Amino acid sequence: MSAYGPAFLAYVAGVGVFAAFFAGIVGVGAVLLIAPLLFFGAPLFFGTAIDFKEISNLTTFAVVIAAARAIFIYRGFGLLRREVIGPMGVPAFLFSALGVVLASFARPQAIQVVFAVASLVGAAFLLIPYHRDLDDATRTLQRNPLPYALAASIVGFVGGFAGAGGGFLLIPTLMGVFRLPTRIALGTASFTGLVIAVVAFAGRIALLHVDWSLVGAIGIGSLLGTEVGIRFQQKVPTLVLRRAVVCVVGVSAVRLLFQLG
């Protein structure tokens, strides 16, 4: 039986809906919303505190559910390309597992530094000059298996180490460095995000206590939010979508730098 009441679980589910809806539109940002809404909102509205370890568990599981549903939606829209995701699966899995193992020995500040640096790199990639004619999701993409595998390895390690899906680094890399269309970059990030988040959550189950009532609530909310968010995203102009990604990644990087200072 859950230690939390129905109203509190409904609030957690609502946080999942809101965060997944936002992340479904821009591809990143769920962690930025879930963490403060649970850490500050739970004691404010219910007088119940959730520690950061539990919140980290919930954000990781929210990414698992959101990414799993997102893959099927993006596939339906034709935005998952085998030539891109094919070389990424195994490296993302192996290096995210390595990141999870090393994170268990690392200090919290070290994890925060890695996350901040990766966010800054992602923000820098998004500043690379952008050509609108390349942002056509129907165009033929060049096969680059080794660079894609290398990118997945780096993002997998960072995601596993920092306990995130890695979209804050992979999406800017695919958009800025590989020049992939925005929507295909978001679809690809859902695939690698699922691989990384599953590994990270499995590691957390093995090492930490997980409250399954909270996990269930955030999972249901994330499923609903993702469904609506991605479908709404298809109606958003790609230029607006790209600018939204730039803002979210940039805000994340600046926020983490201020915390480190």
151 Cβ partners below 8 Å, 6+ apart?
88, 170, 173, 174, 177, 178
Burial of 208 (0-12, 13-18, 19+ CB in 10 A): exposed
What's the pLDDT at 259?
Answer: 60
Running along the chain, 261 residues long, what does each successive block of 10 average in pLDDT? 81 94 85 82 88 78 89 92 94 93 81 78 82 81 92 91 79 90 92 89 69 90 94 87 79 68 55
Contact 122, 169 (CB under 8 A): yes
What's the pLDDT at 231?
Answer: 93
Distance CA 176, CA 58 (A): 30
Q: Which single residue is written with the structure tokens 């919140």?
A: 55
Helix (H, G, I), strand (E, B) or coil at 180: coil
Q: Residue 189's Cα: distance from chain center in Å? A: 8
144 Cβ partners below 8 Å, 6+ apart?
178
Mutual angle of helices 52-76 and 212-233, in 10-degree steps: 40
Distance CA 100, CA 121 (A): 21
What's the pLDDT at 261?
Answer: 55
Q: What does residue 252 show for φ and ψ, rounded to 5 degrees?
A: -60, -45
What's the pLDDT at 17?
Answer: 96
- Residue of 204, 189, 205 whose CA lies nearest to 100: 204
Joined together, the tokens standing for residue 117 give 């640096």
Q: Over the range 124-146, which residues count as b (16 or more CB within 10 Å of their CB) and which as e?
A: ebbeeebeeeebebeeeeeeeee
* Cα atoms found within 13 Å of the Cα of residue 89, Cβ hemisphere only: 7
Distance CA 234, CA 236 (A): 6
- The pTM (predicted TM-score) of the whole model is 0.84
CB atoms within 10 A of CB 196: 36
- Residue of 50, 69, 63 whose CA lies nearest to 168: 63
Q: Which single residue is written with the structure tokens 């978001």?
A: 186
